[in-house]
Amino acid sequence: MTVRVAVAGASGYAGGELLRLLLAHPGVEIGALTGNSNAGQRLGALQPHLAPLADRVLEPTTAEALAGHDAVFLALPHGQSAAVAEQLGDEVLVVDMGADFRLRDAADWERFYGSPHAGTWPYGLPELPGARAALEGSRRVAVPGCYPTAVSLALFPAYAHGLAEPEAVVVAASGTSGAGKAPKPHLLGSEVMGSMTPYGVGGSHRHTPEMAQNLGAVAGEPVTVSFTPTLAPMSRGILATCSAKARPGTTGEALRAAYEKAYADEPFVRLLPEGQWPATASVQGSNAVQVQVAYDGTAGRLIAVSAIDNLTKGTAGGAVQSMNIALGLPEETGLSTIGVAP
Amino acid sequence: MTVRVAVAGASGYAGGELLRLLLAHPGVEIGALTGNSNAGQRLGALQPHLAPLADRVLEPTTAEALAGHDAVFLALPHGQSAAVAEQLGDEVLVVDMGADFRLRDAADWERFYGSPHAGTWPYGLPELPGARAALEGSRRVAVPGCYPTAVSLALFPAYAHGLAEPEAVVVAASGTSGAGKAPKPHLLGSEVMGSMTPYGVGGSHRHTPEMAQNLGAVAGEPVTVSFTPTLAPMSRGILATCSAKARPGTTGEALRAAYEKAYADEPFVRLLPEGQWPATASVQGSNAVQVQVAYDGTAGRLIAVSAIDNLTKGTAGGAVQSMNIALGLPEETGLSTIGVAP
Amino acid sequence: MTVRVAVAGASGYAGGELLRLLLAHPGVEIGALTGNSNAGQRLGALQPHLAPLADRVLEPTTAEALAGHDAVFLALPHGQSAAVAEQLGDEVLVVDMGADFRLRDAADWERFYGSPHAGTWPYGLPELPGARAALEGSRRVAVPGCYPTAVSLALFPAYAHGLAEPEAVVVAASGTSGAGKAPKPHLLGSEVMGSMTPYGVGGSHRHTPEMAQNLGAVAGEPVTVSFTPTLAPMSRGILATCSAKARPGTTGEALRAAYEKAYADEPFVRLLPEGQWPATASVQGSNAVQVQVAYDGTAGRLIAVSAIDNLTKGTAGGAVQSMNIALGLPEETGLSTIGVAP
Amino acid sequence: MTVRVAVAGASGYAGGELLRLLLAHPGVEIGALTGNSNAGQRLGALQPHLAPLADRVLEPTTAEALAGHDAVFLALPHGQSAAVAEQLGDEVLVVDMGADFRLRDAADWERFYGSPHAGTWPYGLPELPGARAALEGSRRVAVPGCYPTAVSLALFPAYAHGLAEPEAVVVAASGTSGAGKAPKPHLLGSEVMGSMTPYGVGGSHRHTPEMAQNLGAVAGEPVTVSFTPTLAPMSRGILATCSAKARPGTTGEALRAAYEKAYADEPFVRLLPEGQWPATASVQGSNAVQVQVAYDGTAGRLIAVSAIDNLTKGTAGGAVQSMNIALGLPEETGLSTIGVAP
């Protein structure tokens, strides 16, 4: 079987990373590539690293351009996916790399995104309890946000085993590609090199309710998340440093056992040997997740850290992984756990 | 008055930064420069940015070399300062940039540093309540650790006004110069560029008890600190993202008022306008501290963030500031609040 | 004497660096600060590193705003300086940090800049033969381009002593701040980190005729310059690697003697000891220039390398140095040769 | 056919990159992995990005360990390969990633490497005239140096068509991984971030005679190379900026035609469209080479620029490409032309 794939939004970072992965996917044929402001341009000028596609030209994002494919990936600005998806048949796999269909709570959506809620699709983080089954055979997938991917994988085993109080504290560092390719002064190389700075502080970042949704579902009770993202001087990668007060009786051994159980059979998540901590360079360009957990007896908290590549497992790799599951392909097809380091 | 200054440990990053600042200090004459493994070498080969001192040669660190100065700065490995200080007269100002005299609790010292406690000297973070007065006229100064400087200044106003529960959670990103100049594989440029990674996780970092000491003294009760340091791909700078559960009744306004009061008259600490967040690039090479605070009503936590240059305010600048106070010079002499950016 | 200074174009990188230096200049009072698109904004939002000026508000760039100052610095887009300068009195020192008055050859100007030639002002690179004298007492100064500063200082001693054939080959790496603060996709942090790329290849860069002008004047014959600039993953700094075929009889000793003579009394240029090579980090934030030269007997070429900070000696520092000379202040006032490293 | 491969020197950057590629090679089975100082350690601790090999343990580099493989890759310090190779049978493919068998001129070898010349093996740069044929069926391969790979591919078409005078000038910027993993002070992240610096200036770099050998063979006459390498603040990548005086009658069109002809059928080298210039980020992690050329009429020189990943096409990718040719596998097997960007 060859899956014929279209990509709407092929000129941005998420679209480019998706194409990088699809080019290496043995079961995929790359069909229409669309953009809006960049329609008519050669991909070679926009994504010079994608040599095999250099001569492809972007079409405008229209229903006609996207028709006739088995799968359509949407890498569009938030709020634009629903209108496009409606024009695609129910038999077409639509993988939304935007936020539109991630949240179950309409009020959360409206508060954080300021527009009417479009609905909820099966959630493309198969490592979460129940998520893989919901993706199998689905023709609609909501790819998680990059931060919620890192944070949910760092913390959910602790909540699944009742080891953590329902108040998580997260500080995450992200490479600048997470902020996209639209040029803004604070994203200039001159500004970001040599600098660390937080943004969206105080619970205002849009990924906050998505984290709370994921962890609350696992915990079986509401979990609040104090989330502070920071911009780091690197192109790719998220390091999520997460902690929560340990429930009474929690030990380092119990924590390790919970994480070992959660990730024993997961192809992309690796609980590191004790004493070794995640590093974003180790997962660069791959769909791998490195996780480690420790118990701080003095502070009475568990600390869980994960590293992902925000563009791969955090976006395009997670999308391909979900496509594989939805279409019944082996989950690891076209994806790697080997980072490009140093 | 001209202060004749000696620097023990002039070949490392702390020593180099100190010399950079002392060269710009109008009341200082730079005397002996010592090193151990680098004794006999020209400073121009070791610190090529210090052009005016290029032809100075490092002497071995001996009592003879350090004698005859008004002030001696010690940038030595932990545990070596006491023996050197004992050989210097009581009338000589000794500024220890190592950890030896920072902690008041001997048990803490022994647990984290593994050697007998040498004592406690006046603490060189004049912004803390009571600290400036203790430094005035003192002939012994313990320069704080770089992380404790950033964290204490981010959080102490909240504790001073009873706005925070005594369980702080800190995740701090540091530039690689904080790890020193001794070559180790994980500090190679190839390893650190493009990578974020934590270390000393779970309460094991030596700066943890120092933070707890500072915040506990202000709060009037023990404060635990869950501290996770991370290594960031930049040479300089610390961004400390700190949070704590807010005490009942805490509001954003009360927080802001507390921080405004704490820093109204401080020459080096600036509470940023609301909505603007600290960035390490903005304080690079300067003794400035940028601070911001916010209240997250959903999570019920206050988030306080500070940015410093780990080598300047975090080490050598704090040392010069304390020297100025100890010797009765204007506190800002030779120090700047202007960062080298972009 | 206090020099009252206005800065037109205070929101960009050149203007920000100039203000950083002027704040440390003991003989200067900072007057009007102007901008165009940013007029009305607080400087604290635009240049967060300039803490002492955080509450200053930018005015529009008008003759009224700039009137009543002893010196006016123009950090404007190319082609706009002449109109502003005309409105300022002859007794006012006007220092143009743009290109408008650098070239003597009108045809060169028109070919590379595409607009009518505005004239030629005394050239603000006092280290060149005759340049310092021309600056003394002048009320108009053309600050050199950043690349021509680095390249001219690397090569002129060889041409002054007849040691090099008149065909120079230059490859220079620049930090991204040289490309300015206007956001463009190829200047995003995500694009520049981890990447080296050339631009303006093949003789098309506007700084090429300025280099040829400087070297030709010293050589007493036309000198062609093959110039390739490259964009490096760093915020600041230029490393200029320059070479030329050695004239018959040239030796390494003759080269070294020529450079020693050229720079024996220059306060900002340092010929490094043999075997030590320039590094941009060593001059970061300073007005220093590091120079080294070698003779490659196999290739029959001399290789001369210089490192500067493009924003300091390459722009704002050179401007302040020229102001000092023009106004009869000690040339080093407010300027440093000490880099901010590591 | 499955090729059973051993890697001697698996703990360094070249060895790690080779393993990254071999893991993705469908015709390879990874056998013995050896090291010297790191023998006995888990690869997961040394190469944390190579998740699938995390539990493999390094053996000492002995004839026994390397016996019984179809191919043995040597990533050893210079001068050690000959002794190891002698112990391997003639039927075993030995791919030397060190310098030992690259140079044909024994005097060159002795002058630059200071030890007796071990011999010359078929040269693993198949894009050079005649090189591919020499590799076919060979059981010994000398992998080129990273700089010679970049420089030879940038310049050889000009020399092959008689368009360039035999005096090349090369300035190349390399990421720090080219300097290896042994920790040295000048390779610390604190030193290299934000800094550009040259090294091995004046014809002393060991890769110089290798470039001259390659270009001279193509030109049919001796070619001198003035080569200046520079260390750039990035982990990977080489940007080689090369130029030479154009032979009389050379035009931009003739140059372009020469390069189009040279690279029309090469799977890994791409002559970019006119006006687009190579960038190291675009080839990161891939075996791709980007090349561009221009003619500077004013200076009378051709400028040719290439970008490679020093660890991939510059070392391990070139080694795998040569293995494929030697063993009769399709040349592109296991290799990609798609960079990991941004």
User: Which residues face A226 on adjacent strands?
Assistant: A169
Structural element, H or E, at residue C6: strand C3-8
Q: Which residues contact D217 (CB under 8 A, 6 or more apart)?
A: D128, D129
Residue of D198, D245, D300 lying closest to C277 (CB–CB): D198
Cβ proximity of C314 and C287 under 8 Å: no
Looking at chain C, how many residues does it have?
342
How close does chain C come to B174, measured CA to CA in Å?
A: 14
Q: Beta-strand (E) ranges in B259-300?
A: 269-271, 289-296
Q: What is the pLDDT of residues D18-33, one digit of tens each?
A: 999 999 999 999 999 9
Whole-Å CA distances, B160 to B143, B157, B242 = 22, 5, 15
Q: What is the pLDDT of residues C53-74, one digit of tens each?
A: 999 999 999 999 999 999 999 9
Tokens 């000492």: give the residue: D60
- Residue C198 phi/psi, 5-degree rounding, is -90, 165
The predicted pLDDT at position B1 comes to 75
The predicted pLDDT at position D110 comes to 96
Residue of C189, C194, C234 lying closest to A188 (CB–CB): C189
Partner-chain contact A183 C183, CB within 8 Å: yes
The catalytic position among A141, A146, A307, A329 is A146
Q: Verify whether residue A146 is a known catalytic residue.
A: yes
Confidence of residue B78 (pLDDT cuts 50, 70, 90): confident
> Mean of the per-residue pLDDT values for chain D?
97
- Of C286, C69, C255, nearest to C162 by C-alpha is C255
Structural element, H or E, at residue B224: strand B224-231
> Mean of the per-residue pLDDT values for chain C?
97
How close does chain A come to B255, measured CA to CA in Å?
A: 13
Instruction: Compute the distance between CA of residue B156 and CA of residue B127 in angstroms, rounded to an integer.
Output: 10
Whole-Å CA distances, D156 to C24, D216, D309 = 53, 9, 19
Cβ proximity of C27 and C2 under 8 Å: yes
Neighbours of chain D (3+ CB pairs under 8 A): A, B, C
Confidence of residue A78 (pLDDT cuts 50, 70, 90): confident
Instruction: Compute the distance between CA of residue A300 and CA of residue B169 in angstroms, rounded to an integer.
Output: 11
- Residue B188 phi/psi, 5-degree rounding, is -60, 145
How close does chain C come to A190, measured CA to CA in Å?
A: 5
Instruction: Compute the distance between CA of residue D291 and CA of residue D276 in angstroms, rounded to an integer.
Output: 9
Cβ proximity of A79 and A121 under 8 Å: no
Cβ proximity of C233 and D233 under 8 Å: yes
Which residues of chain A lie closer than 8 angstroms to D50, CB-CB?
Answer: 338-339
Res A1 pLDDT > 80: no
Neighbours of chain C (3+ CB pairs under 8 A): A, B, D
Q: Which among A46, A193, A280 is the top mutation candidate for probing chain C, defined by the most C β-carbons within 10 Å of its own β-carbon?
A: A193
- Of B336, B314, B334, B328, nearest to B93 by C-alpha is B328
Q: What is the pLDDT of residues C26-58, one digit of tens each?
A: 999 999 999 989 999 999 999 999 999 999 999
Tokens 């790799």: give the residue: A317
Which residues of chain B lie closer than 8 angstroms to D193, CB-CB?
Answer: 176, 189, 192-193, 233-235
Instruction: Compute the distance between CA of residue C22 and CA of residue C4 in angstroms, rounded to an integer.
Output: 11
pLDDT average, residue stretch A8-15: 97
Instruction: Compute the distance between CA of residue B43 and CA of residue B18 in angstroms, rounded to an integer.
Output: 14
Confidence of residue C301 (pLDDT cuts 50, 70, 90): very high
The predicted pLDDT at position A109 comes to 96
pLDDT average, residue stretch D262-270: 98
Res C137 pLDDT > 80: yes
The predicted pLDDT at position C291 comes to 98
Q: Give me Rg for the CA atoms of chain C.
A: 19
Beta-carbon contacts below 8 Å between A and B: 167
Partner-chain contact A277 B235, CB within 8 Å: no
Which residues of chain A lie closer than 8 angstroms to D341, CB-CB?
Answer: 16, 47-49, 235
Q: What is the pLDDT of residues B162-200, one digit of tens each?
A: 999 999 999 999 999 999 999 999 999 999 999 999 999
Res D141 pLDDT > 80: yes
> Mean of the per-residue pLDDT values for chain A?
97
- Of A206, A239, A241, nearest to A310 by C-alpha is A239
Residue of C52, C290, C337 lying closest to B338 (CB–CB): C52
How close does chain A come to B6, measured CA to CA in Å?
A: 31
Q: What is the pLDDT of residues C250-298, one digit of tens each?
A: 999 999 999 999 999 999 999 999 999 999 999 999 999 999 999 999 9
pLDDT average, residue stretch A220-248: 98
Long-range residue pairs from B51-60, CB within 8 A, at least 24 positions apart, any chain:
B51/C270, B51/C288, B51/C337, B51/C338, B51/C339, B52/B23, B52/C337, B52/C338, B53/B19, B53/B23, B54/C270, B58/B10, B58/B11, B58/B33, B58/B34, B59/B32, B59/B33, B59/B34, B59/B35, B60/B34, B60/B35, B60/B36
Tokens found for residue B297? 């009503």
- Of C87, C85, C93, C74, nearest to C27 by C-alpha is C93
- Of D107, D65, D104, D102, nearest to D87 by C-alpha is D65
Tokens found for residue B131? 């600290």
Q: Which residues contact A297 (CB under 8 A, 6 or more apart)?
A: B203
Neighbours of chain B (3+ CB pairs under 8 A): A, C, D
- Of D153, D112, D107, nearest to D289 by C-alpha is D153
The predicted pLDDT at position C78 comes to 87
Confidence of residue C316 (pLDDT cuts 50, 70, 90): very high
Cβ proximity of C18 and C320 under 8 Å: yes
Res B321 pLDDT > 80: yes
Between B36 and A241, where is the model more confident? A241
pLDDT average, residue stretch C97-105: 97
pLDDT average, residue stretch C309-323: 98
Instruction: Compute the distance between CA of residue A106 and CA of residue A102 in angstroms, rounded to an integer.
Output: 10
Between B77 and A168, where is the model more confident? A168
> Mean of the per-residue pLDDT values for chain B?
97
Q: Can you list the alpha helix ranges (DSSP code H) found in D161-247?
A: 189-192, 208-219
Partner-chain contact D13 B177, CB within 8 Å: no
What number of CA atoms fall less than 13 Å from residue A336's CA on the CB side? Answer: 24
- Residue A311 phi/psi, 5-degree rounding, is -85, -25
Cβ proximity of D126 and D149 under 8 Å: no
How close does chain C come to A37, measured CA to CA in Å?
A: 13
The predicted pLDDT at position A108 comes to 96
Whole-Å CA distances, D154 to B178, B192, D214, D304 = 41, 30, 12, 6
Res D171 pLDDT > 90: yes
Q: What percent of chain C has pLDDT over 90?
A: 99
Res B70 pLDDT > 80: yes
Instruction: Compute the distance between CA of residue D257 and CA of residue D234 in angstroms, rounded to an integer.
Output: 33
Partner-chain contact B190 D184, CB within 8 Å: no
Q: What percent of chain A has pLDDT over 70?
A: 100
3-class DSSP assignment, residue B223: coil
Res B11 pLDDT > 90: yes
Burial of C120 (0-12, 13-18, 19+ CB in 10 A): middle
Instruction: Compute the distance between CA of residue B271 and CA of residue B291 in angstroms, rounded to an integer.
Output: 5
Which residues of chain A lie closer than 8 angstroms to B203, CB-CB?
Answer: 296-299
Positive or negative torsion for Cα B49, B52, B54, B58: negative
Partner-chain contact C189 A13, CB within 8 Å: no
Partner-chain contact D228 C196, CB within 8 Å: no
The predicted pLDDT at position D36 comes to 87
Of the listed ranges A104-113, C77-86, C144-153, the one predicted with least confidence = C77-86
pLDDT average, residue stretch D313-333: 98
Structural element, H or E, at residue D159: helix D146-160
Cα dihedral value D202, D204, D208, D209, nearest 10:
120
pLDDT average, residue stretch C173-190: 97
Confidence of residue C233 (pLDDT cuts 50, 70, 90): very high
Which residues of chain C lie closer than 8 angstroms to B50, CB-CB?
Answer: 338-339
